[in-house]
Amino acid sequence: MTRPETALDGLVVREATRGLAGTFGGHLLAGLGASVHREEDSAFPILDRRKRKGAPGRVDAVVADESADADGAPIACRVRAWGRTGPRTALPPDEALVQAATGMQTQQWSWSGRPVWLATPMASYMTGMLAALGVAAAHLGRLRGLPGQALHTINRGR
């Protein structure tokens, strides 16, 4: 048996996200050796390097947000702004709104003393990291004989 060249060699991921969190998660998976496919360019072109354009022939995992369907793959990772239930689920999945609602924007220092746009949207990056970690762990589980997994990462604070 030959050893894989990278940690996620052979894993095929379809990324169907619009926000930063899911796009960053796909970027991390591609960096670990997964074959990540996007049907359209994202709003974050720097995070699209190492990704392939178009739909893959077979899919092992799907990383999707509210804008796309994550069903039909052995590993389905849903990246949500507000979760599946609760009072905020009716709000738009706007990452700036998530940062404001979590209080993270109040932590960003400014001369004015008012909340400002975050230079580094940490909640989105951390959610992307958790999505990539979840997909990688589910893939390892499948290699060890476990069934497929449904994952939910939520881009919100408490």
pLDDT score, position 1: 55
pLDDT score, position 135: 95
What spatial distance separates the first Cα and last Cα of the chain, rounded to whole Å? Answer: 47
Q: What φ, ψ does residue 58 adopt, rounded to 5°?
A: -125, 155
Distance CA 51, CA 36 (A): 5
pLDDT score, position 93: 74
Distance CA 9, CA 55 (A): 18
Q: What angle do CA 96, 102, 103 make, to 5 degrees?
A: 95
pLDDT score, position 156: 56
Longest dimension (CA), the chain: 62
Taking only the tens of pLDDT, the chain with its 158 residues reads 566 688 899 999 999 998 889 999 999 999 999 999 998 888 899 999 999 999 888 999 999 987 787 777 899 998 887 777 777 777 777 777 777 777 766 666 677 777 666 677 888 888 899 999 999 999 999 989 988 788 877 765 44
Q: In order of start, what are the domains of the chain with their CATH numbers?
A: 12-94+121-154 (3.40.50.10540)
pTM of the predicted model as reported, rounded to 2 decimal places: 0.83
